[in-house]
């Protein structure tokens, strides 16, 4: 469990004054930075959590006396921040998720065992992530330069802290060199769709992410141009195809003041892989893979299922690794399948039929039929009506029409670099309700 106490000090800066711990049913590891909150307060967290859960009042913030608990759950761990002040909750949660990200980078899986097996490294990281209650270096690539997972070598490998830690550009080291300078840009959009049993789209939106893999020498300045409607309106350019991005969140390398003034995305990138930005586009989305289903249940006898899938995207595009997950009654047995393409299998532990199609061209229709037997004795338990869910990935395609217009790479040595752009559309929370 993480206990982090954040308060506003007199100077107006956000200060993290923390005792922080990790636990499952018990405390695994603690790091007390300031001691403003009694460490014994953490004993109230689990009973409070269980009580709120039983009462159906579970919330991300809970209180005991004048102490407030802000928590997240990851795997079998609770990361908790405690405070007795009116703290900046968004900053606390950002820091908790950053801890998860850093520890996952180090240990691959963040769980009870990885904490127990790496106590020395965990303590080293805690001391660097936060110093005297103030968040410090939170970039895992920089931390890995001087905190290794070989505890015995910690004092030998690097006795001098990298200058990166004290630089204004704390996310990138100096002196990086590549024989071939390249930037790979992935524009990934996830489609969230909810369709009711009558075939009407009840809700839909697009959640996007722009990810980079940079292999550039030196300290390059990058400028990224998108077909942003606000930018086009500011400059009076030809409208063309533009997008309106909401809830935009940037990596810390982006100069926010520049973006707010003229919508230019200007930054010195981290080395290697990183997420430059994420965004949401609130728009009506036509389901890219439309599902029609007929599920007939004959009591004490059988269930007949017919599912038709149609690709409602451009004919030149192809959806890869499509999975249509169809719910079936929990007491069904003796499955039989017939498909016009792909393969279907029964997953009894999840009460699902999973229809897999490796390659689904746009404009095509495919059919799957399934037959299940039912026991002669009716199941007394009332079952819900879970929706049909669909998973897919369509390369070289975006629903929103977002485009990378340019990527300028400026470095004092004047080298030439190649930017590569790839577009991917994939399913997010993609559900279609059924009548049965």
Alpha helices (H) along 108-255: 112-116, 119-129, 140-146, 154-157, 229-235
Q: Tell me the average pLDDT across 92-99.
A: 87
Q: Tell me the average pLDDT across 140-163.
A: 57
Domains, in order of start, for the chain: 2-9+24-164 (3.30.450.60), 182-285+399-432 (2.60.40.1170), 289-377+386-395 (2.60.40.1170)
Q: Tell me the average pLDDT across 394-412.
A: 92
Mean pLDDT rounded to a whole number for the chain: 84
Eight-state DSSP code of residue 270: P
Q: Which residues of 396-416 are buried (b: 16+ CB within 10 A; e: fewer)?
A: ebbbbebbbeebebebeeeee
Q: Tell me the average pLDDT across 128-148.
A: 78
pLDDT for res 247 = 92
Distance of CA 22 to the CA centre of its chain: 22
Q: Provide the percentage of residues in the chain whose pLDDT is more than 90.
A: 44
Does the structure show a pLDDT above 60 at 301?
A: yes
Q: Tell me the average pLDDT across 295-306.
A: 85
Does the structure show a pLDDT above 80 at 379?
A: no
Q: Which residue has the higher pLDDT, 25 or 195?
A: 195
The strand pairing partners of 266, in sequence order, are 223
Helix (H/G/I), strand (E/B), else coil: 154: helix
Q: Which residues of 91-114 are buried (b: 16+ CB within 10 A; e: fewer)?
A: ebbebbeebbebbbebbeebbbeb
From residue 198, alpha-carbon distances to 293, 353, 366 in Å are 11, 22, 21
126 neighbors 119 (Cβ within 8 angstroms): no
What is the C-alpha separation between 52 and 49, in angstroms, rounded? 5
Instruction: State the pLDDT confidence band at 5, using cuts at 50, 70 and 90.
Output: very low
Helix (H/G/I), strand (E/B), else coil: 310: strand
Does the structure show a pLDDT above 70 at 236?
A: no
- pLDDT tens for 353-363 read 999 999 999 99
From residue 400, alpha-carbon distances to 147, 243, 244 in Å are 42, 7, 9
Q: Provide the percentage of residues in the chain whose pLDDT is more than 70.
A: 86
Does the structure show a pLDDT above 60 at 240?
A: yes
> Tokens 């404009």 appear where?
363
Instruction: State the pLDDT confidence band at 141, using cuts at 50, 70 and 90.
Output: confident
Dihedral class, residue 132 (left if φ above 0, else alpha if ψ from -120 to 50, else beta): left
- pLDDT tens for 49-74 read 889 888 888 899 999 998 899 999 88
The strand pairing partners of 289, in sequence order, are 311
Q: Tell me the average pLDDT across 109-132.
A: 82
Instruction: State the pLDDT confidence band at 154, using cuts at 50, 70 and 90.
Output: very low
What is the C-alpha separation between 281 and 288, in angstroms, rounded? 16
Does the structure show a pLDDT above 50 at 11?
A: no
Does the structure show a pLDDT above 80 at 423?
A: yes
129-132: which pairs have CB atoms within 8 A and are 24 or more residues apart?
129/98, 129/99, 129/102, 130/4, 130/16, 130/18, 130/33, 132/33, 132/34
């Amino acid at each position: 469990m993480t206990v982090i106490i954040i308060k506003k000090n007199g100077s107006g800066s956000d200060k993290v004054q923390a005792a922080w711990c990790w636990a499952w049913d018990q405390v695994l590891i603690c790091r007390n930075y300031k001691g403003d909150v009694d460490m014994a307060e953490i004993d109230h967290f689990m009973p409070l959590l269980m009580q709120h859960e039983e009462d159906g009042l579970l919330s991300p913030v809970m209180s005991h006396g004048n102490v407030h608990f802000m928590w997240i759950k990851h795997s079998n761990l609770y990361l908790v921040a405690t405070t007795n002040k009116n703290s900046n909750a968004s900053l606390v949660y950002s820091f908790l998720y950053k801890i998860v990200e850093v520890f996952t980078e180090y240990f691959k899986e963040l769980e009870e065992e990885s904490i127990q097996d790496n106590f020395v490294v965990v303590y080293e990281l805690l001391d660097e992530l936060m110093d005297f209650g103030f968040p410090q270096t939170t970039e895992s690539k920089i931390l890995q330069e001087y905190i290794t997972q070989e505890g015995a070598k910690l004092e030998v490998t690097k006795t001098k802290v990298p200058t990166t830690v004290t630089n204004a550009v704390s996310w990138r080291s100096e002196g990086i060199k590549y024989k071939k300078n390249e930037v790979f840009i992935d524009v990934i959009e996830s489609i969230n769709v909810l369709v009711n049993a009558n075939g009407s789209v009840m809700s839909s939106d697009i959640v996007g992410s722009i990810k980079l893999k940079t292999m550039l020498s030196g300290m390059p300045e990058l400028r990224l141009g998108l077909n942003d409607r606000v930018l086009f309106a500011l400059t009076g350019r030809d409208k063309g195809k533009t997008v309106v991005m909401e809830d935009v969140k940037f990596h810390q390398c982006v100069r926010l003041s520049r973006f707010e003034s003229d919508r230019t995305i200007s930054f010195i990138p981290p080395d290697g892989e990183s997420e430059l930005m994420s965004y949401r586009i609130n728009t009506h989305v036509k389901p890219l893979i439309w599902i029609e289903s007929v599920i007939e249940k004959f009591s004490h006898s059988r269930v007949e299922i017919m599912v038709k899938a149609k690709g409602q995207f451009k004919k030149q595009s192809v959806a890869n690794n499509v999975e249509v997950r169809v719910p079936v009654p929990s007491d069904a047995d003796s499955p039989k399948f017939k498909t016009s393409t792909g393969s279907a299998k029964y997953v009894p532990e999840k009460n699902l039929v999973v229809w897999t199609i490796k390659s689904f061209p746009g404009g095509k229709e495919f059919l799957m039929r399934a037959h299940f037997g039912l026991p002669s004795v009716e199941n007394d338990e009332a079952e819900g009506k879970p929706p049909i869910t669909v998973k897919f990935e369509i390369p070289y395609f975006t629903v929103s029409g977002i485009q990378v217009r340019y990527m300028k790479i400026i470095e004092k040595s004047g080298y030439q670099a190649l930017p590569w752009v790839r577009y991917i559309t994939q399913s997010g929370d993609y559900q279609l309700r059924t009548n049965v």
